[in-house]
Structure 1
Amino acid sequence: MDAEVTDNKSQRRFELPLPDGEIAAAYYRVDDEGRLVLIHTEVPYEFGGQGIATRLATGTFDLVRRSGGKVVLRCPFMGNFFRKHPEYADIVAG
C-alpha cells in the first residue's frame, strides 16, 4: 500500500485510500481562527492493527505542516499520536 493521505476539503476529512475502495479518515472542522480541529479518526475494522491509523495521522500532520496550518486535537487517537510524536509540536495549537 503506497497510497498517500489527501485532504478531502468538501467532506472535511483527511483520507488514506485502502484496498477494495475503502478509506481510513481523519475528520475535522475549521474553527474561527482557521485551525483544523481533528475530531474523529476512523479505520475500517478489517484493517485494524495494521498501522493504518498511524500512517493516516503521520500523513495528516505532514500535510498540515506543509500547508502552514495548525491543528487542535479533540480526537483521542490523534492526541495519543502527538504524545508519541512531539516533533509535530510546531503545528499543534492549544
Structure 2
Amino acid sequence: MTEIEVVDNTEDSCYEIRVDGKHAGKLEYRLIDGERHLPHTEIDREYGGRGLGSRLVEGALQLARESGEPVVPECPFVVAYLHKHPQWQDILVPGSLPPADD
C-alpha cells in the first residue's frame, strides 16, 4: 500500500508531499506579517496524474490551519482548489481569494 504524507519543510519554506518516503512535489510558501502566502505548487513529473496536487494542497491547508497562520492563495492551482472546496475559507486572509476563472 502506498503511503502519502504532507510535511512542513521549514528549512526550504515549503510543504512537501512524499510518496513512500520519497519527495514527490512541493507547495512553496512565504511568511509575510504572520500570513502564509502560497505562490507555487509543483508535482514531480514521475508522480503526475495521480491527484497528488490536490492531496498536497489539502495537507498544506490542514497544516496551516493547525499553525494558526492565515493563508493568502497566489498559485492558480491553489486558487482553483479553494473554489472547489469552500470548507477552507475560514483560514484565508479575508478578501485574498481571487475570483474563479469560469
Alignment TM-score, normalising by the size of structure 1: 0.91
Higher relative contact order (CA 8 A, sep 6+): 1
Instruction: Give the structure with higher Rg (CA).
Output: 2
Greater percentage in helix: 1
Deviation at 1:4, TM superposition (A): 1.7
Question: For residues 68 and 51 of structure 1, what CA distance do their matches in structure 2 show?
Answer: 26
Aligned partner of 1:25 in structure 2 is: 26
Establish whether residue 44 from structure 1 lines up as the match of residue 44 from structure 2: yes
Deviation at 1:49, TM superposition (A): 1.2
Percent identity of paired positions between Structure 1 and Structure 2: 35
Asked if the contact 1:12–1:28 (Cα under 8 Å) also holds between the matched residues in 2, the reply is yes
Deviation at 1:2, TM superposition (A): 2.2
Deviation at 1:89, TM superposition (A): 0.3
Deviation at 1:21, TM superposition (A): 3.0
Unaligned runs of 5+ in 1: none
Paired residues in the alignment total 93
Letter in structure 2 aligned against 1:37: H
Q: What aligned pairs does 1:52-91 form with structure 2 within 5 A after superposition? A: 52-91=52-91
Unaligned runs of 5+ in 2: 97-102
**Larger CA deviation: 19-28 vs 35-44:** 19-28
Over aligned residue pairs, what C-alpha RMSD do you find?
1.4
Deviation at 1:34, TM superposition (A): 1.0
Asked if the contact 1:18–1:24 (Cα under 8 Å) also holds between the matched residues in 2, the reply is no
**Larger CA deviation: 37-46 vs 18-27:** 18-27
Question: For residues 16 and 10 of structure 1, what CA distance do their matches in structure 2 show?
Answer: 15
Q: Deviations over 1:28-79 (max 9, x none)?
A: 1111x21010010010112111100011011000111111111101101000
Aligned partner of 2:16 in structure 1 is: 15
